[in-house]
Amino acid sequence: MLAKGTFSSPSSTLLPLSIPRGSSRSDSLTCWLQRKQQRKIICACVAPPLNIGSDGIPETANKHINKSEKSETLHPISEPEDDSDVLIECKDVYKSFGEKHILRGVSFKIRHGEAVGIIGPSGTGKSTILKIMAGLLAPDKGEVYIRGRKRDGLISDNEITGLRIGLVFQSAALFDSLTVRENVGFLLYENSTMPEEQISELVTETLAAVGLKGVEERLPSELSGGMKKRVALARSIVFDATKATIEPEVVLYDEPTAGLDPIASTVVEDLIRSVHMTGEDTVGKPGKIASYVVVTHQHSTIRRAVDRLLFLHNGKVVWQGMTHEFTTSTNPIVQQFASGSLDGPIKY
């Protein structure tokens, strides 16, 4: 049994941040509980008060693109007028770290049922915008709306219910000294009124949904990288069955296939699809995740796991389109990124 914390239950999905390797179970829990008191995770997203010019091209992008290159709009998707299905919106979000101005007016919306990828060069702020959506970082300027309600500051600063937000870190961020069962059921053991046996059953069921059986009593160190990612996914989608209302959930994945071989990547990509509402999990049940956002560099993940793409560059969304438009785009930024060429507007 896990030690019980004294804090109140969170309004949304909470995920452990990184815990030092080799720390003891009590250290891990203490560290986690301290952090948890500081940060309750909720999510918010970007909608564009598009700093996109009349030609559909963001102002910064205009600086890098000559007239002949502007033939393709950078904003080819016409936004529906009805925003009732918007779960997360980021509006003109700015974020700097010291002198580094990372996000400079990022806007987008994540709608119910969407599978969205965020791509762009390294260091362009993809993980930063995920953390802002999750409420782990506050924007310097701009707004984040959760189902139409503005979130101020971090998730710990206000209670916004109506949407669960899960964040799956690149590193999986499992507690090294807890078993797989304890990792997956952590929040339920801590916060739920469910009896332990029921939590245990739910954990087993959720692990089965991500294709893992018989690993409940293993420690993270006994798992492969791909299995750890699946455990982290299970942790983000485990539901408290005693809650009267189950809120829709958005899962944010930060480079879920980084470091995996091509086949293990495919397994994770299919898994991400399968737990989405349009999919079917590995035991044949419909997925429960309303929408998800994936930050990735991997072409296979772009092709296989997402439907719509947002391209971040120089602090803004410089292109967005459906996945199939990515490889045929005539936008020079997209072309350079898709081909990996050293020549083009993206400079390292």
Ligand X SMILES: Nc1ncnc2c1ncn2[C@@H]1O[C@H](COP(=O)(O)OP(=O)(O)OP(=O)(O)O)[C@@H](O)[C@H]1O
Footprint on this chain of ligand X (rule: CB under 6 A): 97, 100, 102, 122-128
CA dist., res. 40 & res. 138, Å (int)? 13
Q: Which lies closer to ligand X via its Cβ, residue 10 or residue 315?
A: 315
Element at 183 (helix H, strand E): helix 180-184
Amino acid identity for residue 39 in this structure: R
Contact 144, 151 (CB under 8 A): yes
CB of 334 to ligand X, least distance (A): 16
CB of 128 to ligand X, least distance (A): 3
CB of 121 to ligand X, least distance (A): 7
Write the Ramachandran bin of 153: left for phi over 0, alpha for psi from -120 to 50, otherwise beta.
Answer: left
Q: Which lies closer to ligand X via its Cβ, residue 102 or residue 207?
A: 102
CA dist., res. 187 & res. 335, Å (int)? 43
CB within 8 Å of 41: residues ≥ 6 apart: 10, 12, 13, 14, 15, 134, 135, 136, 155, 165, 167
Q: Which lies closer to ligand X via its Cβ, residue 11 or residue 127?
A: 127
CB of 156 to ligand X, least distance (A): 17
Give the DSSP letter of residue 247. P
Q: Per the structure block, which two tokens stand in for 275?
A: 């737990």
CB of 83 to ligand X, least distance (A): 27
What is the number of residues in the chain?
348
Contact 57, 80 (CB under 8 A): no
Write the Ramachandran bin of 101: left for phi over 0, alpha for psi from -120 to 50, otherwise beta.
Answer: beta
Report helix, strand or coil for 200: helix
Percentages helix, strand, coil for the chain (3-state, rounded to 5) are: 30, 20, 45
CB of 142 to ligand X, least distance (A): 16
Q: Which lies closer to ligand X via its Cβ, residue 219 or residue 258?
A: 258
Q: Which lies closer to ligand X via its Cβ, residue 275 or residue 317?
A: 317
CB of 249 to ligand X, least distance (A): 23
Q: Which lies closer to ligand X via its Cβ, residue 7 or residue 97?
A: 97
Q: Which lies closer to ligand X via its Cβ, residue 124 or residue 179?
A: 124
CB of 348 to ligand X, least distance (A): 11
CB within 8 Å of 88: residues ≥ 6 apart: 43, 44, 45, 46, 109, 110, 133, 144, 145, 146, 147, 163, 165, 250, 291
Q: Which lies closer to ligand X via its Cβ, residue 156 or residue 200?
A: 156
Q: Which lies closer to ligand X via its Cβ, residue 96 or residue 191?
A: 96
CA dist., res. 345 & res. 342, Å (int)? 9
CB of 126 to ligand X, least distance (A): 4
